[in-house]
Amino acid sequence: MTLRYLFLPVVLLSMQALASGDHAHNDMSKAISEYRQLTTTEQAVQAVLDTYAQAMEEKSVEIMEQAVIVGDFSTIESGYPNWTWEDFRDNHLAAEMQTFGDVDYQIDLIAGETQGSLGFAVFRYTASGKVHGKTISISGLGTAVIEETTAGWRIHHLHTSAPRSQLEQAAQGTSHQQHTE
């Protein structure tokens, strides 16, 4: 199934879920785990995000392939797209895995829902590690479209963004200060 066929139902599902139920009282600045236990559905969504984070920490393409739909994956990271798994793997992931050391990658679910074989996640992430001996850290927000496959839940599309100032500091090899509102 191509992304264009998934987009409208996922957007509608997301809007409906965020406006009602467990998400209605969340101010969207806190991870669900900060104020209650995750539901069974949210645990499934968090699990696929955790697999993605584990792949980043362990620098493992094999683990990443357990998190994404290899034949139908796209991502946009702070405005930079990779429209296929091969493009992401070869031109983005491989470069990050070679450049970063001592990686810590945390993903905390803010909102997540599934309906049938489709779902979404809104999450907060923090990625930190060493680049050329300097410790850097980037925090931001992300969304994921997930799909249930014969192998379980996988990420179909991922979009993450961090404040431009953090990205510039990371490029210079300096760390950002945590901002709390």
pLDDT confidence of residue 175 = 53
pLDDT confidence of residue 29 = 73
Beta bridge partners of 111: 122
Going by C-alpha positions, the residue among 85, 89, 60, 63 that lies closest to residue 74 is 85
Q: Name the average pLDDT for the chain.
A: 83
pLDDT confidence of residue 42 = 95
Instruction: Provide the CA 65 distance to its chain's centre, in angstroms.
Output: 14
Q: Is residue 10 over pLDDT 60?
A: no
Position with higher pLDDT, 54 vs 132: 54
User: Position 123: which residue type?
Assistant: F
Domains in the chain with CATH codes: 3-139+146-172 (3.10.450.50)
Residue 51 main-chain phi, psi, to 5 deg = -65, -40
Task: Taking residues 107-126, report their average pLDDT.
Answer: 96
pTM of the model: 0.80
Q: Could you tell me which residues come within 8 angstroms of residue 129 by beta carbon, excluding any fewer than 6 positions away? A: 100, 101, 102, 103, 104, 135, 136
pLDDT in tens, 52-81: 999 999 999 999 999 999 999 999 998 899
- DSSP letter string, the chain: --HHHHHHHHHHHHHHHHTSGGGTT--SSS-GGGTSPPPHHHHHHHHHHHHHHHHHHHT-HHHHTTTB-TTS-EEEETTEEE-SHHHHIIIIIHHHHHHEEEEEEEEEEEEEEEETTEEEEEEEEEEEEEETTEEEEEEEEEEEEEEEETTEEEEEEEEEE--HHHHHHHHHT-PPPP---
